[in-house]
Amino acid sequence: MKQTRNTAAKTEILKLINHSPVALSHAEIQSALNGLCDRVTIYRVLERLITEDEVHKVVNLEGVVKYASCHSCSSEEKHIHTHNHAHFSCEKCKEITCLEDIEPSFKVPKNYQINEMNFTLSGICPNCR
């Protein structure tokens, strides 16, 4: 398998995501980086960070893609990585927060092979009320 390198772009992007309490969009990351690298590079770095299980992708109810760090994923078990926790998407401030302690229970549908799950609650976050 192809090895990976640490670059300024990758370091800064990961730092941004790790230090943010909410999930960040590509646009938000780009403006925070302040011209450090090209927007295509941001897409490619995010892709890399996901395959390396450093961050995960979250999509809100409107289809907006955001990226969040993997707090609850211990580094040892990163290869068996699944983000089976819930997310909250605020309708007012549009922020996405990981609700890492919420694991929904459900009956598994017959004949379907389930690999991942996305459980997103939306409404108003504590800051907005």
* Cα separation, 61 vs 103, whole angstroms: 19
How long a stretch of residues is the chain? 129
Q: Which is nearer to DNA, 59 or 100 (CB)?
A: 59
Distances (CA, A) of 80 to 26, 75, 84: 26, 10, 12
Sheet bearing 65-69, strands edge to edge: 24-25, 65-69, 55-59
In the list 68, 73, 86, 96, the residue contacting Mn ion (rule: CB under 5 A) is 68
**If contact means CB under 5 to 8 A according to the sort of partner, which of Mn ion, DNA, Zn ion, none does residue 98 touch?**
Mn ion
Please, are residues 89 and 60 in contact by the beta-carbon 8 Å criterion? yes
Q: Which is nearer to a second copy, 57 or 81 (CB)?
A: 57
In the list 7, 92, 104, 121, the residue contacting Zn ion (rule: CB under 5 A) is 92
Which one of the spans 3-11, 14-22, 36-44, 100-108 is the region binding a second copy (CB under 8 A)? 100-108
In the list 38, 65, 77, 93, the residue contacting a second copy (rule: CB under 8 A) is 65
Nearest to 53 by CA among 17, 29, 88: 17
Q: Using CB under 8 A, list all residues that contact a second copy.
A: 57, 59-65, 86, 88, 91, 99, 102-107, 109, 111-126, 129
Q: Using CB under 5 A, list all residues that contact Zn ion.
A: 90, 92-93, 125, 128
